[in-house]
Amino acid sequence: MQRIGIFGASGYAGIELTRLLAAHGGLTLAFAASERQVGTLVGDLTGVGGELGRVAYVGFEAAREAAKSCAVVFLCTPPEVSKPLAAELVAAGVRVVDLSNAFRLGDGTVYGLTEVNREAIRTAQLVANPGCYATAATLPLVPLLRAGLVQTTDVVVDGVSGASGAGRRNEESYSLVEMHDNVRAYKVMTHQHQPEIAQSYARAAGAPVDVVFIPKILPFARGILATITTRLAPGVDPAQLLATLRAAYEGEPFVRVCARAEDADLHAVVGTNLCALGVTCVNGRVVLLSAIDNLVKGAAGQALQNANLMLGLPETTGLVGLRRFLP
Amino acid sequence: MQRIGIFGASGYAGIELTRLLAAHGGLTLAFAASERQVGTLVGDLTGVGGELGRVAYVGFEAAREAAKSCAVVFLCTPPEVSKPLAAELVAAGVRVVDLSNAFRLGDGTVYGLTEVNREAIRTAQLVANPGCYATAATLPLVPLLRAGLVQTTDVVVDGVSGASGAGRRNEESYSLVEMHDNVRAYKVMTHQHQPEIAQSYARAAGAPVDVVFIPKILPFARGILATITTRLAPGVDPAQLLATLRAAYEGEPFVRVCARAEDADLHAVVGTNLCALGVTCVNGRVVLLSAIDNLVKGAAGQALQNANLMLGLPETTGLVGLRRFLP
Amino acid sequence: MQRIGIFGASGYAGIELTRLLAAHGGLTLAFAASERQVGTLVGDLTGVGGELGRVAYVGFEAAREAAKSCAVVFLCTPPEVSKPLAAELVAAGVRVVDLSNAFRLGDGTVYGLTEVNREAIRTAQLVANPGCYATAATLPLVPLLRAGLVQTTDVVVDGVSGASGAGRRNEESYSLVEMHDNVRAYKVMTHQHQPEIAQSYARAAGAPVDVVFIPKILPFARGILATITTRLAPGVDPAQLLATLRAAYEGEPFVRVCARAEDADLHAVVGTNLCALGVTCVNGRVVLLSAIDNLVKGAAGQALQNANLMLGLPETTGLVGLRRFLP
Amino acid sequence: MQRIGIFGASGYAGIELTRLLAAHGGLTLAFAASERQVGTLVGDLTGVGGELGRVAYVGFEAAREAAKSCAVVFLCTPPEVSKPLAAELVAAGVRVVDLSNAFRLGDGTVYGLTEVNREAIRTAQLVANPGCYATAATLPLVPLLRAGLVQTTDVVVDGVSGASGAGRRNEESYSLVEMHDNVRAYKVMTHQHQPEIAQSYARAAGAPVDVVFIPKILPFARGILATITTRLAPGVDPAQLLATLRAAYEGEPFVRVCARAEDADLHAVVGTNLCALGVTCVNGRVVLLSAIDNLVKGAAGQALQNANLMLGLPETTGLVGLRRFLP
């Protein structure tokens, strides 16, 4: 049993991570830190039973000390908290998976999109866990960009997300009444995941990719559906698209390439660590669909997948056998 | 054209009332007061066009003066605001419809359940507009209690309501994520509408009625479904139940007595000023179902219905022809 | 009072049209034809009261005769029914608004996108009422294409729609459980509205426009949000985009150009005949958002708007003062 | 590894059972029978991976033979199918858990409400798995009835349920549009679970209990909230209610007695095999709230819990560590 700890443990990602840990078997929760919930039992907030449920949330100060003896520490904290905290932990030799967007851009850290960056993650000191939208948007296009099958200009990424992606909110605009039966775009072409997506695309293409990202919020708790639109590169046979995706993800435990693109929907993934994706091409225009559970593959699940790699555990530990929740 | 004004005009009931006014034809909005929205145009918040949409919200202080020349003033304010404000307006000779629960209990004011209290409302100085749950719970049982057809002990009222009934909220517990896919009871047997329901039942029965009220909140914007359970009084023919309801509400423009109790559902009423109700009896046990739109018949619609009576206008002005919104 | 009739009156568009008629004032319902509901009262299905509610649905055979004396007949029927029926009615001199996609493509009929084609509609014998997605997708881009402000290649239209757009369904895949908490793409780049959108864009641009359309279905009853992505034409000042939209739609009663593109959401329009639209531009990439109620501006409302024009009535009759339904 | 089989494996309960089996570890799926899905892979319908996912659905005829070598067979079939099939299997010496209502009433079979009937289930040949509403309604009241703390007259059970409880449906009335934003009562006092509830109450009380049951359907996929209203028995201290529930369910792995009754809501249980319950008492009136996931504790989870007992496995195998799905 290896010890891990969580800062920001009472947010939605922190709670999901705690729930996943409960079924992991190889990790012990050394601490769950939440300034808001000091003293509350983990079980009361997460529904987790057993010994794990009887752990009480502690403040960040107490957690700092405990963190030093952890094999991995997860930061489910806002970027402004993650930045100094990760620096401090790394300086103390602690390995960190940060779920915020503090470290995703640039070359200083290991970007934790597991399927793309597996080897670097194994030995990383600090893993920048990808954004939820970015995970959904990146997985389907990377193999096609690497193979030069699609154009790198005029790529459009549309992403709809359940509201848990925005975290706990006490604002009127996130109230049930204000969100119910609505779908609303926000931060169009200015969302922090747009450069993150562009960076992953560029790394895959070996050249800049011209992409815009249009996020929208849905009145559900969970799930992201990303739609990526681009063009076939000149001279490419459309049949190569699906074949390339299948080859790229053959044997990947958490990527399902759908024969019909439209089968990549929320029901296929919510509750699991899966990304379901598919591609269709008509007259040279290419549309990819990609679905994840924003709290699992889009946050806590991928963080655990990365931690498994960092700790030399089987990558799928605690992440297979997660039930799909919806029909 | 008679002049009316609204205090608390930017809450959900105030907005609904403004929208209803837009189609009324016989009333002019002298002021819409909202401390939160001073300067905003009514149209921007409500979607109402024309002259009404170009009115700007004013503060309460400015509205106080304008209120004095109004034929009726609506208070869509919390009870602690309504109490002194109504007193002040009444003292100045202004007629008031108060939508809060400040004045509903006791004999000092006219209780504005229109179908039950029509004549008193016409000449009232201050009308206490009924609570939304209380409206739904009271209309079906009053005729049966008056006729002595049901027992007055062990009455159970269960009420499920859309979240707009709780007003605008910036609390985490009212956020989409916290409410989605949930139904949750609250204030069981301690909700402020329980004594209001008990009072109406007692007035109809001519004796105390032993009733408990169990409210629950649903993750919808609108609609209340009340379920009332009691017993047939000894010796009563169950067929009298439906017959009595039909007789009581024959000719009532806003009460629909359903042949099948189960047809009284939210779809039958949401968007309209209707109360759809029905009754079923098995082995002496009586169940009544009753549905309203909490923002219309449960708040702004009934307030306007009452104001129409107070102003000598046809009671249905601005309230017929409201489209049902759901299939 | 002019007489109108409806074929296919018990579908969602037919019901919405009936409800709108109830508040119109200038039209009499000569017949409501529905093979499924022969004998049912209109009021029982629609909630509409008064004389209109007491009309009984008739079969198509009986309606054929009555149709001949109508000033306008609405066809809320599938295209395979509309095609011969419209031909027959037109041959008999009856004016027709067809809500199906039977007549939308090509030059033989008048395309009923009111704001774009107003003059031709006034005198049309047969109006092809636009598709719901097409209405939402076309209104925002037409003025920009006409002015040459955006590129005509690589246009992407993403459309999410409430489920009433698919009509009444008794299929498992449209059941609540199968749709709940899901968003699912369908007919990607093969939907029948794609050529319809392309045709409108081409007419506005005066040249072919290369567009793909990606429709998705949402688990709501009503509402469409269309997202259109393209590029600024070379040398165009981005400020011209909003200015051009404002100029194009100044004085239009049913188009609201939003200062912030993101304010074009379902809440802004559901229940009304409005199209709310907005535009944003970053680094030469242009995103337009456009929201309508698919049953009103996307079907029955626009059909009535067109009929008003055909009958010489004020275009907005029966269509202003429709309440927005959501906060 | 013991072998089990499932008839009716492609319905919602059958799928949930398959998903639970995937994480069980001690059971092998000998067959999954579904006339509708013969040849489809289990993984394609359920999302389950590994060997289990590669099993293909077979027809009932083929399954009949395989069933004979199973340690337990689950029937997720309608009662008219379950009746002869269970008789046939029992005659062949196969042990059966039937999830239909074919065998719940009367004394011929073992009623599978685990917490109430544990010892009889261990050795049962045929277990009648309880109805979902009945599970939620029975667990909170049985300890109070056994202890004589509440009256046995005028008990009212109100139950709201997600739509998966009604099974797969291809009827218009179960379509998204017809159910969305609605809550609708059905089979009021005539639902098949009313006698089932009454039977369990009577067994606990040792005397007939006068109970009515009012079911309602909610537009969610999962979850039941039952509200039970009765009276304190004369002379009972209200504090005994909670104390008795706590004593009754101390050590029970799947029953959570909430300190605040209102904490028994869907979020507390959906995804898990838990029943969360609570009680409140005001002026002698008693209200109990009880929440379960209708597909888990209300169907497949309890069936597996029972099978564990029948097979001599730890009762909680495959049922702990199920994540709560909602916040």
Residue A45: both structure tokens together: 């907030």
Supply the pLDDT for residue A119.
98
CA–CA gap between residue D85 and residue D271 (Å, rounded): 30
Supply the pLDDT for residue B326.
84
Kindly determine whether residue C327 and residue B20, on different chains, have CB atoms separated by under 8 Å: no
B286 contacts in D (CB within 8 Å)?
none
Non-local (6+) Cβ contacts of B168 within 8 A are A172, A175, A177, B11, B12
Radius of gyration of chain A (CA): 19
Supply the pLDDT for residue D185.
98
Q: Is D271 on the interface with A (CB under 8 A)?
A: yes
Q: Is C325 on the interface with B (CB under 8 A)?
A: yes
Option in A183, A223, A326 nearest C225 (CB): A183
Cβ atoms of B101 and B187 within 8 Å: the answer is no
Cβ atoms of B196 and B101 within 8 Å: the answer is yes
Q: Is C18 on the interface with B (CB under 8 A)?
A: no
D69-108: b (≥16 Cβ within 10 Å) or e: ebbbbbbbbebebbbebbeebbeeebbbbbbbbbbbeeee
What percent of chain D has pLDDT above 70? Answer: 100
Q: How many CA atoms lie within 13 A of D164 on its CB side?
A: 28
What confidence category does residue A144 fall into, taking pLDDT thresholds of 50, 70 and 90? Answer: very high
Kindly determine whether residue B220 and residue A180, on different chains, have CB atoms separated by under 8 Å: yes
Cβ atoms of C214 and A227 within 8 Å: the answer is yes
Q: Which residues of D form the catalytic set?
A: 132
CA–CA gap between residue D268 and residue A305 (Å, rounded): 27
- The residue of chain A with its CA nearest to that of C265 is A184
Nearest CA-CA partner of B295 in B5, B11, B101: B11
What confidence category does residue A101 fall into, taking pLDDT thresholds of 50, 70 and 90? Answer: very high
Q: Is D180 on the interface with C (CB under 8 A)?
A: yes
Q: Is D202 on the interface with A (CB under 8 A)?
A: no
Q: Is B272 on the interface with C (CB under 8 A)?
A: yes
Kindly determine whether residue B285 and residue D223, on different chains, have CB atoms separated by under 8 Å: no
Shortest Cα distance from A13 to chain B (angstroms)?
Answer: 13
**C185-208 per-position pLDDT tens digit:** 999 999 999 999 999 999 999 999
B236-257: b (≥16 Cβ within 10 Å) or e: bebebbbebbeebbeebbbbbb
Supply the pLDDT for residue A325.
87
- The residue of chain D with its CA nearest to that of B283 is D189
Tell me the mean pLDDT in the region A306-319.
98
Task: Indicate the DSSP class of residue C117.
Answer: H
Residue D37: both structure tokens together: 């899905």
Cβ atoms of C292 and C132 within 8 Å: the answer is yes
Task: Check pLDDT > 90 for residue C319.
Answer: yes
Q: Chain A window 58-87: which residues touch D at a Cβ cutoff of 8 Å? A: none
Adjacent-strand bridge partners of D252: none
Cβ atoms of B213 and B132 within 8 Å: the answer is no
- The residue of chain B with its CA nearest to that of A221 is B177
Low-confidence ranges of chain B (pLDDT < 70): none
Supply the pLDDT for residue B203.
98
Cβ atoms of A21 and A52 within 8 Å: the answer is yes
% helix, strand, coil for chain D, step of 5: 40, 25, 40
B221 contacts in C (CB within 8 Å)?
326-327
Q: How many CB atoms within 10 Å of residue A283? A: 10
| DSSP string for B252-298 | -TTEEE-SSGGG-SGGGTTTSS-EEEEEEEETTEEEEEEEE-TTIII
Beta strands in C238-293 (DSSP E): 255-257, 275-282, 285-292
The H-or-E segment that residue A52 falls in is helix A50-53
Adjacent-strand bridge partners of B128: B98, B111
At B319, the amino acid letter reads: L
**D153-204 per-position pLDDT tens digit:** 999 999 999 999 999 999 999 999 999 999 999 999 999 999 999 999 999 9
The per-type count for chain C, helices as H runs and strands as E runs, is: 11, 13
What confidence category does residue C89 fall into, taking pLDDT thresholds of 50, 70 and 90? Answer: very high
- The residue of chain C with its CA nearest to that of B254 is C49
**C224-264 per-position pLDDT tens digit:** 999 999 999 999 999 999 999 999 999 999 999 999 999 99
**D49-92 per-position pLDDT tens digit:** 999 999 999 999 999 999 999 999 999 999 999 999 999 999 99
Kindly determine whether residue B188 and residue D221, on different chains, have CB atoms separated by under 8 Å: no
Supply the pLDDT for residue A90.
97
Q: Is A173 on the interface with C (CB under 8 A)?
A: no
Adjacent-strand bridge partners of C230: C286
Residues listed for chain B? 327
Q: How many CB atoms within 10 Å of residue C202? A: 17
Option in C162, C164, C175 nearest D169 (CB): C175
Q: How many CB atoms within 10 Å of residue A111? A: 24
3 state DSSP class of B247: helix
3 state DSSP class of B106: coil
What confidence category does residue D321 fall into, taking pLDDT thresholds of 50, 70 and 90? Answer: confident
CA–CA gap between residue C303 and residue C132 (Å, rounded): 11
Q: Is B70 an annotated catalytic residue?
A: no
Task: Indicate the DSSP class of residue B220.
Answer: S
Q: Is D267 on the interface with B (CB under 8 A)?
A: yes
Shortest Cα distance from A278 to chain C (angstroms)?
Answer: 11
At C318, the amino acid letter reads: G
Confirm whether the ipTM is greater than 0.90: yes
Cβ atoms of A306 and A114 within 8 Å: the answer is yes
Kindly determine whether residue B168 and residue A172, on different chains, have CB atoms separated by under 8 Å: yes
Non-local (6+) Cβ contacts of A72 within 8 A are A2, A4, A94, A95, A96, A97, A307, A310, A311
Kindly determine whether residue B164 and residue C327, on different chains, have CB atoms separated by under 8 Å: yes
Radius of gyration of chain B (CA): 19
| DSSP string for A88-114 | HHHHTT--EEE-SSSS-SSSSSEE--H
C50 contacts in B (CB within 8 Å)?
320
At C189, the amino acid letter reads: M
Q: How many CB atoms within 10 Å of residue A148? A: 13
Task: Indicate the DSSP class of residue C129.
Answer: P
Nearest CA-CA partner of C244 in C120, C139, C112, C135: C139
Kindly determine whether residue A180 and residue B12, on different chains, have CB atoms separated by under 8 Å: no
Supply the pLDDT for residue C325.
87
Cβ atoms of D130 and D104 within 8 Å: the answer is yes
Task: Check pLDDT > 80 for residue C327.
Answer: no
**D14-57 per-position pLDDT tens digit:** 999 999 999 899 999 999 999 999 999 999 999 999 999 999 99
- The residue of chain D with its CA nearest to that of C174 is D175
Supply the pLDDT for residue C132.
98
Q: Is B181 on the interface with A (CB under 8 A)?
A: yes
Q: Which residues of C form the catalytic set?
A: 132
Which pTM was predicted? 0.97
Shortest Cα distance from A36 to chain C (angstroms)?
Answer: 30
- The residue of chain C with its CA nearest to that of D165 is C177
Q: Euclidean distance between the first and final Cα of chain A, in Å?
A: 35
Mutate to test the interface with C, among A189, A194, A220, A232 (most CBs of C within 10 A): A189
CA–CA gap between residue A255 and residue A248 (Å, rounded): 10
Non-local (6+) Cβ contacts of C30 within 8 A are C3, C4, C5, C66, C67, C69, C70
Mutate to test the interface with D, among C161, C173, C177 (most CBs of D within 10 A): C177
Option in C181, C253, C327 nearest B221 (CB): C327
Q: Is C107 on the interface with D (CB under 8 A)?
A: no
Location of structure tokens 């779908």:
A183
Beta strands in A163-252 (DSSP E): 184-185, 211-218, 224-231
Task: Check pLDDT > 90 for residue C120.
Answer: yes
At C146, the amino acid letter reads: R
Q: Is B168 on the interface with A (CB under 8 A)?
A: yes
Q: Is A324 on the interface with C (CB under 8 A)?
A: no
Supply the pLDDT for residue A78.
97
User: Helix H segments across C173-315?
Assistant: 176-179, 193-205, 239-249, 301-310
CA angle A103, A106, A110 (to 5 degrees): 60
